[in-house]
Amino acid sequence: MSGDRETNQDMAHGDTAHTDIAFMLADAADGVEIGIAPYQAVVRGGRRRRARRWAVAAATALVLAASTGTLALAGIGDGNEVSQVATRPPTAEERHVYAPQRTTLATGTGTGRQWRVTVDIWGAPKTEAEAVRQFASMDDRGVQPSDASNPGELVGKGSFFVNLVVDNATSPVMLGELDKSDDMFGTDLQSAAIPLEPKGSDRREAPQHLVIGMVAPTARAVTCTWDDGTKSIAHKVPANYPLDSGKPVIRPVEGVQAAWFVCLAEVGKAFKTVKATG
């Protein structure tokens, strides 16, 4: 660039200022690497900084593989930022701050009982006023975030609650925090194995034959291995895939950057291991 500067010194005085500015801009651009943003590097950094806040509710039996940080809210790094610039921000109601967005993950019949698994996603409050109202709404529904003892701790964080319904009796299974600082990718997996027993029964002595968990949205399959060596393989399906298919599936859940799966063992079998395939 120095040779170019010497040549340009012979230009007319009226063009000199314009040329100098152009060179300064060019010099600045020399230090900028143009390309795709290093999103994966940012995600991995977040995963190292924070451990997932994950809880198994009530008397459920077992927490399984934990290999990732806190779950990220949907929309992070998904390429939608530019298209959203010209639109109005969504309201608290549209973000599901005051009432959760419920997704049914699976239904079926096991040990002679009708069952289903649901997950409720609460959006992150942006202000303390929103957090106070969300906290009260959660309390009205009989739930409380796993890591918050006062409303102020909810600002900037979403929450999820997983319920098992057996013969119309609802039991809390898992709950956790949703946070923008991290994401799931590759073969990351979080899950719990629990008995398929109605609310109020003694689950501690029952076999753990229902596996519920979440994986990265890119996961192609999850393999649940039972104590007799047999396997159930859940494959990725679209959100509108039938609930009563009788097959274990990986189902996307709107509102989070993760997918959820449910595996059920046959009678007489119990959980041994679970593994995701990226």
Q: What pLDDT is attached to residue 275?
A: 94
Its pTM stands at 0.68
**Dihedral-angle region of residue 14 (phi above 0 means left; psi in -120 to 50 means alpha; beta otherwise):** alpha
State yes or no: pLDDT of 199 exceeds 60: no
Q: What pLDDT is attached to residue 205?
A: 66
State yes or no: pLDDT of 159 exceeds 60: yes
Sheet-wide strand order for 62-66:
62-66, 189-194, 210-215, 259-264, 249-252, 231-236, 221-226, 271-277
Residue 191: exposure state from Cβ atoms within 10 A (0-12, 13-18, ≥19): buried
Mean pLDDT of the chain: 73
Q: What pLDDT is attached to residue 114?
A: 87
Q: What pLDDT is attached to residue 45?
A: 30
